[in-house]
Copies of this chain bind each other. A is one copy, B any other.
Amino acid sequence: MAVTIKDVAKLANVAPSTVSRVIANNPRISEQTKRRVREAMEYLGYHPNYNARSLANKSTQTIGLVMPSSADKVFQNPFFPEVLRGISTKAHEKEYTLYMSTGSKEEDILEGVMGMVHGRRVDGIVMLYSRIDDKIMTFLQEQNFPFTVIGKPFALPDTITHVDNDNYRAAKDVTEHFIEKGHECIAFVGGNLDLVVTVDRLSGYEKALREAGIPHNDDYVVHVEFLKEGGQEAVMELFSLPKPPTALVVVDDLMALGIMSKLDEIGLSVPEDVSIISFNNVMLAEYASPPLTSVDINIFELGYEAVNCLLEKIADPDAENKRVCIPHKVVERWTVRTQTENGIENVK
């Protein structure tokens, strides 16, 4: 069997409890015995058994991650590696480790999450997405288990600590940007309406139009599954309209790529015929042709802060729930042009 605290204790001529204390670096142990014990640990190649530790002190030093269903198209979005990077970074800093949900149906994932919390496998959970009426979120809240969500919880956002962008504001900015450039036929291509981020961005878009006195046109709002296939559908719908839009607010970079590829196919060019701004500013945006103007939502930061908040919550479960807002910034590249009565004026 592996070497245990007892073996170390014996060799160092102390009690197991003393060994435990030097592991915890308890200040009440003399430097001398600490040294002796440490030598023994070194010599024997001792490593603590985390299961035993967790069982004894009721803390696991690990946080659970709830991803969207791996069957879901969203899962493929480069958003996830990037949030993961943020999450992983903060977790590593604080010496927490990561536990991942599995399963491809919501039921299965929920079961897994129940296992995490009831089985005491994790100290807290971060949800990497936020959708309306999510059973997992509901469960976590019922259990009063420490958790944090990336995105805005739809119901009772004040009850749940979350980190999000101001997606309403961001979409409004983007839409206003188009308006300033002279566009009036501005369409919104949204993703799954279950995703809170979609509804927030849609309201921002609508608000900007209203403020500018541009009548809302139902035909200009289309919702498709995230990702590229969706982009293509969107093009079919929008550009068979009698009066197609000249500018597109697209909720996701990948979708925008899909749109651009389809546009190309039907002989329309970006930005000459249609301008596009999308969201996320994923690496790919820069390498599209032409490079995509996109809203950088600081994905890394979203992940980083989400575990930061979670850790605070674990340390003090009764602390007030908070909302942290990660700033966004539109990164201008080459998919927006000024709209004039007839034809190209300049490309910006």
A interface list, Cβ under 8 A from B: 2, 47-52, 54-55, 60, 62, 65, 70-71, 75-78, 80-82, 84-85, 88-89, 91-92, 96-104, 108, 112, 114-115, 118-121, 227-228, 254, 257-258, 260-261, 264-265, 283-284, 286-289
Contacts and interface: CB of A to CB of B under 8 A. Distances in A.
Contact of A80 (B81, B118, B121): B81
A49 B108 CA distance: 19
21 contacts: A48-B118, A50-B120, A51-B120, A51-B121, A65-B100, A70-B84, A71-B85, A76-B81, A78-B78, A80-B81, A88-B102, A88-B104, A92-B102, A96-B102, A97-B99, A97-B112, A98-B99, A99-B99, A100-B100, A228-B287, A265-B289
Contacts of A52: 55
A298 to B, nearest CB: 16
Contacts of A288: 261
Contacts of A48: 118-119
Contact of A287 (B104, B119, B257, B283): B257
Given A60-B51, A100-B98, A120-B49, A261 B287 contact: yes
A286 B227 CA distance: 12
Nearest to A70: B85
Contacts of A82: 76
A88 B76 contact: no
Contact of A76 (B55, B115, B254, B283): B283
B118 A89 contact: no
A62 to B, nearest CB: 8
Given A91-B102, A98-B101, A261-B289, 18 more contacts: A49-B55, A50-B121, A51-B51, A51-B119, A81-B81, A88-B104, A92-B103, A92-B104, A92-B112, A97-B100, A97-B115, A98-B99, A98-B100, A98-B102, A100-B100, A228-B286, A254-B284, A265-B289
Given A55-B55, A76-B283, A119-B48, A97 B102 contact: yes
A181 B288 CA distance: 29
A264 B288 CA distance: 11
Nearest to A260: B289
B287 A258 contact: yes
A286 B76 CA distance: 14
A80 B228 CA distance: 18
B81 A75 contact: yes
B50 A115 contact: yes
Nearest to A283: B76
Nearest to A300: B70
A270 B51 CA distance: 56
A177 to B, nearest CB: 24
A314 B49 CA distance: 19
A233 to B, nearest CB: 13
Contact of A99 (B92, B100, B264): B100
Contacts of A81: 70, 75-77, 80-81
A50 B55 CA distance: 9
A62 B112 CA distance: 12
Nearest to A227: B283
A50 B265 CA distance: 55
The 10 closest A-B pairs by CB, nearest first: A47-B118, A50-B119, A92-B102, A98-B100, A88-B102, A70-B85, A51-B54, A51-B55, A228-B287, A92-B103
